[in-house]
Amino acid sequence: MKALAVAAILSLATTPSMALTLTSSDVSTGETFPTQFICPKYQGSGVSPALSWNDVPDGTKSLAITMFDPDAGTNGFWHWVLVDLPATETGLVQGAASPGGTLPPSAVSLPNGSGTDGYIGPCPPAGKVHHYEITLYALPIAQAAVSGAMTPAEIGSYLEKTAIGTAQITPVYEQQ
């Protein structure tokens, strides 16, 4: 009987925990952004994609989302910085982070690389595929210790260091 109890405990200890996952009905890793999500300069609408997530780690008190293009310039470009989403949220509808969109009341949209709050769609120069890292961060704090006075890169670094879990999808876009 004692051996059975030990075996049961060991099997629980070696059972992998569920990993935080991020999905979208609008975009996916390796696939090209549909037109409505890119910038108006290229006939897009600049609408933020729908996102959903599950398996949020125990101890998560808030969530954050960023979208970063590591292929832009020498330091990349931050398209989206959103913090203080309630840990109970399970997703965002399409357009939630766009002008006129509706975010949860506690959510804070911070300046992106262009200095405006909210989502800014892909808008790269022609000739090169750009990768857009949409990252979900599970944070052990209810309010991220960030402000609009920080650069998006500083906020991204803070989120990486603070997160107890992350998930990512990486759609692409190339202007022809």
Model-level pTM?
A: 0.89
Question: Confidence class of residue 32 from pLDDT cuts 50, 70 and 90?
Answer: very high
The pLDDT tens digits of the residues spanning 97-140 come to 998 899 999 999 999 999 999 999 999 999 999 999 999 999 99
Rg, Å, the chain Cα set: 18
The pLDDT tens digits of the residues spanning 36-90 come to 999 999 999 999 999 999 999 999 999 999 999 999 988 999 999 999 999 999 9
CA distance 75 to 52: 28
Nearest to 87 by CA among 145, 134, 18, 138: 138
Nearest to 65 by CA among 44, 46, 79: 79
Fill in the DSSP letter of residue 41: G
What is the topology classification, in CATH, of domain 18-173?
Phosphatidylethanolamine-binding Protein (3.90.280)
- Pick the residue with more confidence: 8 or 61? 61
CA distance 169 to 150: 25
CA distance 99 to 48: 10
Nearest to 116 by CA among 99, 100, 131: 99
Amino acid residing at 24: S
The pLDDT tens digits of the residues spanning 71-86 come to 998 899 999 999 999 9
Backbone angles phi and psi of 159, in degrees to 5: -65, -45
Please, are residues 136 and 51 in contact by the beta-carbon 8 Å criterion? yes
